[in-house]
Amino acid sequence: NQISSNGKILSDKSLLTAVGQLNQGSAFITDRLQRIELAQLNARAGEKAISLAVYPLAATYLQSGISLLDDKCWEDQYSLSLKLYISSAEAHYCNGDFEKMEKVQEVVFARGRSFAEKRAAYFTLISARIAQGKLREATEVGLFVLRELGEPFPKSPDEKAVTDDLIKTKEMLATKTETEILALYEMKDDNKIAAMHVLSSLIICAGLAKNTLYPLFVSRMMQISLSYGLCKHSIAGFASFGPILRGSFGDVNGACYLGLLALHLLKKLQANECAARVQAMVCCLINPWVKPHRLSLETLKHSFQDGMRSGDIQHALLCAQQFCIHSYQCGEELSTVEKNMREYGNQMKLYKQDIILNKALPFRQSALNLMGHSDDPERLTGEAMNQDHLLENALENKNFSLVFVIYHNCSWLAYIFGNYELASEMTEKSQVLVNQTVSPAYTVASHAFVEGLSSLALAHKSSQPKWKELSAKNIEKMKKWAQHAPANFQHKLFLLEAESAFLMGDTVAAARHYDNAIERAGEHGFVQEQALTHERAGIFHWAQGNASKALHHYGQAHDTYLKWGAKGKADHLRIHCPL
């Protein structure tokens, strides 16, 4: 018996190689018991390959195992059959082969004897729908699973219901110290653990879709953890509730506390497979409001590598996406940023993580436009994307997070290329989506910056009071943000105040604020906003009749845009400069 005689070999590190060799002769095995034994070995090898993140190999082993089964196996080898099919679906999902995944899952849903035994297949299906950008379908499947697990949710909660639930969670949290939370026992209830698994996926799609259920999902995760103990999914709950404390209650310190607590829980629970996800959440939703934005770059880069090693492909690529977006926002050299976006984007395509790829595309196309690789620099259509097609896809799938970044990048390009009317139109469209955000990221502050600047530019042309009112509102927001993260927002505030003083005729204050904005932007590496401030200062001094100062600032703006890598914008400035 060749299979049995290899038992000792198959228990050591050569499992994958040995099973591969046995599979080569599988067509000649006619004894049913031997075929079942080899199928069991393939199940072991497939699960081992998944744990090593070698997904194509895993899919091969698991498919080999399935091919060794006969119809009777669903009766007398039920556990083995179920394991092979569920693991096969997971491997196909990780490979981005959603068609094969669905075919395998159909068998699980048809032949599985209980809901509990089919749960893992539902988990994979939800993750796949999120990766495909099918947020509505992912949410529907998730809500069905949660109902089966005894955790129902209302279809359309009103604002009061959401607020009341958040307050309840906030009060539960306040009853425990950090030490007491870290000392909570391990969650034992299988249904609660399964519910936490589903909720940890649903907060991704609900956040992207600006779904009103998002805060309730996060709140439920907190309530389950505080009542039933900790599991690895609890970490995402704590990391997600922090930004809600900041966004809904203005509690910046509470957000920081929960972000740090989530990182401590990572170590306590030894949940390395969750590290990429938690770091992405902390870096994107908490740190920008309290720390220099640039500090997140290395963390995100390392978290991408950690996630790929641990097999968390989705969140590893999310870290890569955010690394690219943060690099762009921090003023890193554009050709390097665009190259990174292209290379990481190829990996997102490889693993068919469309929803992660699509959100990075508007930033990449924006970089290309600024570099001069577009005939229409105010429009997000070119090498990376087609604005109309991506926007249509985002609206169809209710991916309002993607809709927002498309509008935001359009508004930024429109403003920087001098089309203030279009910039204002785009910020007005995106403001509707900002109003639905309970966990704002840095891009929300960038939106307020552009909205404030475009309103001030239009106030020079129009006597309508709304432009002054809108600019004043955004200046107040920036003041609040600058108190907690001056490295990210103080120079933006100075530029807004300079433009406001220019509008009001306070030339002394305007000149001082422009100089302060230039100095602070340079100090913290925001090259693009330093260049923009030089340009705006040039416009200001030209309006005052001071040609020498205007020439100085226009020259500095041109050189700084080139330093950033924005040759397209530098050329635009040279053509449109009044000097």
Query: How do the domains of the chain map onto residue ranges?
Result: 2-111, 114-270
> What pLDDT is attached to residue 13?
58
- Whether 269 has a pLDDT exceeding 50, the answer reads yes
DSSP secondary structure of 236-303: HHHHHHHHHHHHHH--HHHHHHHHHHHHHHHHHTT-GGGHHHHHHHIIIIIGGGTS-GGGHHHHHHHH
pTM of the model: 0.89
- Dist. CA 52–CA 55, nearest whole Å: 8
Amino acid (1-letter code) at residue 108 = V
- How large is the angle between the packed helices 98-111 and 78-95, nearest 10 degrees? 160
- Dist. CA 246–CA 249, nearest whole Å: 6
Dump pLDDT digits (tens) for 345-362. 999 999 999 999 999 999
Residues 6+ apart with CB under 8 A from 58: 46, 47, 49, 50, 87, 91, 94
pLDDT band at 5 (very low <50, low <70, confident <90, very high): very low
The secondary structure of the chain in percent helix, strand, coil, rounded to multiples of 5, reads 80, 0, 20
- Whether 76 has a pLDDT exceeding 70, the answer reads yes
- Dist. CA 320–CA 72, nearest whole Å: 46
Cβ atoms of 53 and 23 closer than 8 Å:
no
> What pLDDT is attached to residue 51?
87
What's the burial of 2, exposed, middle or buried (CB within 10 Å: 0-12/13-18/19+)?
A: exposed
- Dist. CA 331–CA 328, nearest whole Å: 5
- Whether 9 has a pLDDT exceeding 50, the answer reads no
pLDDT band at 559 (very low <50, low <70, confident <90, very high): very high
- Dist. CA 186–CA 271, nearest whole Å: 13
- Dist. CA 70–CA 66, nearest whole Å: 9
- Dist. CA 181–CA 424, nearest whole Å: 46
DSSP secondary structure of 554-566: HHHHHHHHHHHT-
Q: Which two tokens stand for residue 193?
A: 């653990």
> Which CATH number among 3.20.20, 1.25.40, 1.10.3910, 1.10.260 corresponds to the domain 2-111?
1.25.40
Lowest mean pLDDT among 142-146, 156-160, 167-171, 387-391: 156-160
> What pLDDT is attached to residue 12?
43
Phi (first) and psi of residue 425, to 5 degrees = -60, -40
Dump pLDDT digits (tens) for 241-252. 999 999 899 999
pLDDT band at 439 (very low <50, low <70, confident <90, very high): confident
- Whether 4 has a pLDDT exceeding 60, the answer reads no
Of 368, 378, 395, 284, the C-alpha closest to 566 is: 368
Exposure string (b/e) for 251-281, b if CB count within 10 Å is 16 or more? bbebbbbbbbbbbebbeebebebbbbbbbbb
The DSSP H or E segment spanning 309 is helix 296-310
Residues 6+ apart with CB under 8 A from 221: 196, 199, 200, 203, 233, 234, 236, 237, 240, 241
Cβ atoms of 322 and 284 closer than 8 Å:
yes
Average pLDDT over residues 527-548: 98
> What pLDDT is attached to residue 156?
86
Of 194, 240, 192, 247, the C-alpha closest to 219 is: 240
- Whether 434 has a pLDDT exceeding 90, the answer reads no
Cβ atoms of 74 and 111 closer than 8 Å:
yes
End-to-end CA distance of the chain: 90
Dump pLDDT digits (tens) for 88-136. 999 999 999 999 999 999 999 999 999 999 999 999 999 999 999 899 9
Q: Which two tokens stand for residue 301?
A: 């880069």
- Dist. CA 58–CA 81, nearest whole Å: 16
Cα–Cα–Cα angle for 470, 473, 479, nearest 5°?
Answer: 140
- Dist. CA 65–CA 35, nearest whole Å: 9
Average pLDDT over residues 194-220: 93
Dump pLDDT digits (tens) for 158-196. 999 999 999 999 999 999 999 999 999 999 999 999 999
- Dist. CA 240–CA 282, nearest whole Å: 8
- CA atoms within 13 A of residue 196's CA, in its CB half-sphere: 25
- Dist. CA 33–CA 26, nearest whole Å: 13
Average pLDDT over residues 503-514: 98
